[in-house]
């Protein structure tokens, strides 16, 4: 977004117009540079209400120039209207007021503006200088100081706004994470409740089966008794007639649909029929052949395994991961990507990559929207408390990137400087331990490089492998390695309790043993690295 110009307002008496015009000319360089815009009443468009125009620009100006002369003090409009409004805005911090002494004024030291910095230097009126150009140059230098102070205030205000936005974003992420955890807990409780109901259904089915077996035994005994009685009746001599024993009718079958409905689980299209001594399970919608199971078998369906591994990364980190469009379509490539593909292939899986901001990588693991994270991430003690890590697969060093000749070679040399770091990175944690610096967290590495080149920050802390690529593409920059005891190795992050480290670590060890890892290091960090070619 283009920077807003500093608006300069001339408050003067019309008798002093020649001197105002000369001052306006001496400010031309600032106007040509796109730093200021100057306004005075001669710019009022014909037909406009001049008092409204003057009042509007007086209320919106960033710098108000008071061109002091006997005519200014004598003017009712300048002294009684414009001067009080200018002092009011100055005291409120809304504008900077710069008094400029054009001609000698009797008793000016007792006037309201006397407490402010008066120009030219030494409060010597411009008309008393032997060379008016020197006087106007001195005034211009003073105005330039006021402009620089205003720009610094704007930059500080913009930084505060950005920090507030980052704080709000971090709070939103935390709230989302809390809500996700709450929903997961509710889902867990619901699953446990359903499991309890299923277990109750299994117990009921087992009990019904046992009762049916007992009833079947009773029925068979009664039938045998009836058969024997009938046989005895046929072979016995005629006498009084024997009573006929009726057979016990079969017990009505209970099926799983009825049991689940009784427990409030609904039918679900799954029917269990009790037949003899076996239990049959059939799917009523697909009519598949029945499957036999024992009464103790778990009735929940087996979970199917996915054929893909999902990797989350922040593809702004050459040589580790970055977006390449040389083939006509955007593709995420890099050191981490090649390692992940190798591991996935060794485990018989395909690889799916999701590109997000670095600060959101760990929250994505917590939300279970990725199986693992590879983004040149360092396994710090703080991170180990919330995620699991693989063995370290590569170690790099941290550097200070700055304009060439800045002579920023140690952490102590950054004191008093504005330093950029990637938001949520290990470099941000390291920078916070350096005293006396102003920290400027940013989402993307290339943003930090642009901020250095634009002069909005003086340095950035970046990993050496990535710094090399940007230095190759920007010969006006340089980097120096920071000597530190901080761990800077890269490892793969997983959700807490994930079984994947046990699958990944052996493959990483294999890659170290068979030379594959060294091959990838030369490919991505050597002189022929695709990342270096992309940067240049």
Q: Check pLDDT > 80 for residue 291.
A: no
Tens digit of pLDDT for each residue in 312-351? 999 988 778 999 988 888 999 999 999 999 999 999 999 9
pLDDT for 530 equals 54
Q: Check pLDDT > 90 for residue 101.
A: yes
pLDDT for 465 equals 75
CATH class belonging to 6-162? alpha beta
CATH number given to 397-487: 3.40.190.10
pLDDT for 212 equals 84
Confidence of residue 49 (pLDDT cuts 50, 70, 90): low
**What is the pLDDT averaged over residues 168-185?**
90
Torsion of CA 106, 111, 117, 120, to 10 degrees: -20
pLDDT for 248 equals 35
Query: Mean pLDDT, the chain, as a whole number?
Result: 81
**What is the pLDDT averaged over residues 49-75?**
88
Confidence of residue 282 (pLDDT cuts 50, 70, 90): very low
Is 108 within 8 Å of 72 (Cβ atoms)? no
308-394+491-535 fold:
D-Maltodextrin-Binding Protein; domain 2 (3.40.190)
pLDDT for 192 equals 92
Q: Mean pLDDT highest for which of 49-58, 184-193, 200-209?
A: 184-193
pTM: 0.36
Give the whole-angstrom CA distance, residue 534 versus residue 527: 12
231 or 154: which carries more pLDDT confidence? 154
Tens digit of pLDDT for each residue in 217-268? 888 888 877 877 777 766 655 544 444 433 434 333 434 333 333 333 333 3
Confidence of residue 495 (pLDDT cuts 50, 70, 90): very high
Same fold, 308-394+491-535 and 397-487: yes
Give the whole-angstrom CA distance, residue 456 versus residue 156: 11
**What is the pLDDT averaged over residues 426-446?**
89
Give the whole-angstrom CA distance, residue 65 versus residue 63: 6
Domain spans of the chain? Answer: 6-162, 185-232+248-291, 308-394+491-535, 397-487
Give the whole-angstrom CA distance, residue 30 versus residue 136: 14
Q: Which runs of consecutive H residues, i.e. helices, occur in 367-500?
A: 381-384, 426-432, 445-454, 464-473
**What is the pLDDT averaged over residues 434-440?**
93
């Amino acid at each position: 977004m283009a920077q807003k110009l500093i608006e300069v307002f001339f408050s003067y008496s019309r008798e002093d117009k020649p001197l105002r015009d000369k001052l306006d000319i001496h400010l031309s360089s600032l106007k040509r540079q796109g730093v200021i815009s100057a306004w005075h009443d001669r710019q009022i468009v014909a037909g406009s209400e001049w008092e409204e125009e003057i009042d509007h620009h007086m209320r919106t100006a960033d710098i108000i120039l008071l061109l002091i002369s006997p005519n200014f003090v004598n003017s009712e409009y300048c002294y009684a209207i414009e001067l009080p409004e200018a002092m009011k805005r100055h005291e409120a911090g809304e504008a900077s007021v710069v008094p400029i002494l054009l001609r000698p004024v009797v008793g000016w030291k007792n006037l309201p503006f006397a407490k402010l910095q008066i120009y030219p230097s030494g409060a010597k009126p411009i008309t008393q200088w032997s060379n008016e150009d020197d006087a106007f140059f001195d005034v211009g230098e003073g105005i330039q100081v006021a402009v620089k102070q205003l720009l610094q205030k704007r930059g500080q205000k913009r930084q505060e706004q950005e920090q507030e936005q980052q704080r709000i974003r971090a709070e939103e992420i935390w709230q989302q994470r809390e809500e996700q955890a709450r929903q997961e807990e509710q889902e867990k409780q619901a699953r446990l409740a359903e499991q309890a109901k299923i277990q109750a259904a299994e117990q009921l089915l087992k009990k019904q089966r046992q009762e049916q077996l007992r009833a079947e035994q009773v029925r068979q005994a009664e039938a045998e008794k009836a058969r024997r009685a009938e046989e005895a009746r046929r072979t016995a001599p005629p006498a009084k007639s024997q009573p006929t024993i009726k057979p016990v009718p079969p017990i009505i079958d209970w099926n799983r649909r009825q049991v689940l409905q009784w427990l409030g689980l609904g039918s679900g299209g799954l029917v269990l029929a009790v037949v003899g001594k076996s239990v049959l399970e059939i799917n009523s919608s697909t009519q598949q052949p029945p499957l036999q199971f024992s009464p103790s078998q778990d009735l929940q369906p087996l979970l199917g395994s996915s054929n893909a591994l999902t990797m989350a990364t922040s593809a702004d980190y050459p040589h580790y991961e970055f977006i390449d469009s040389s083939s006509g379509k955007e593709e995420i490539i890099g050191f981490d990507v090649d390692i992940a593909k190798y591991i996935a292939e060794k485990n018989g899986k395909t690889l799916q990559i999701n590109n997000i901001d670095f600060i959101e990588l760990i929250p994505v693991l917590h939300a279970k929207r990725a199986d693992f994270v590879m983004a040149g991430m360092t396994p710090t003690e703080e991170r180990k408390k919330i995620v699991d890590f693989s063995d370290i697969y590569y170690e790099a060093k941290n550097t200070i990137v700055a304009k060439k000749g800045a002579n920023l070679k140690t952490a102590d040399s950054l004191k008093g400087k504005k330093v950029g770091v990637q938001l949520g990175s290990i470099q941000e944690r390291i920078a916070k331990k350096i005293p006396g610096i102003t920290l400027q967290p940013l989402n993307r590495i290339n943003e930090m490089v642009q901020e250095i080149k634009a002069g909005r920050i003086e340095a950035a802390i970046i990993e050496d492998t990535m710094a090399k690529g940007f230095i190759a593409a920007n010969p006006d920059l340089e980097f120096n390695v920071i000597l530190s005891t901080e761990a800077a190795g890269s490892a793969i992050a997983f959700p807490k309790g994930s079984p994947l480290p046990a699958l990944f670590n052996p493959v990483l060890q294999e890659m170290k043993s068979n030379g594959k890892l060294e091959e990838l290091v030369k490919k991505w960090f050597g002189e022929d690295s695709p990342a270096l070619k992309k940067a240049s």
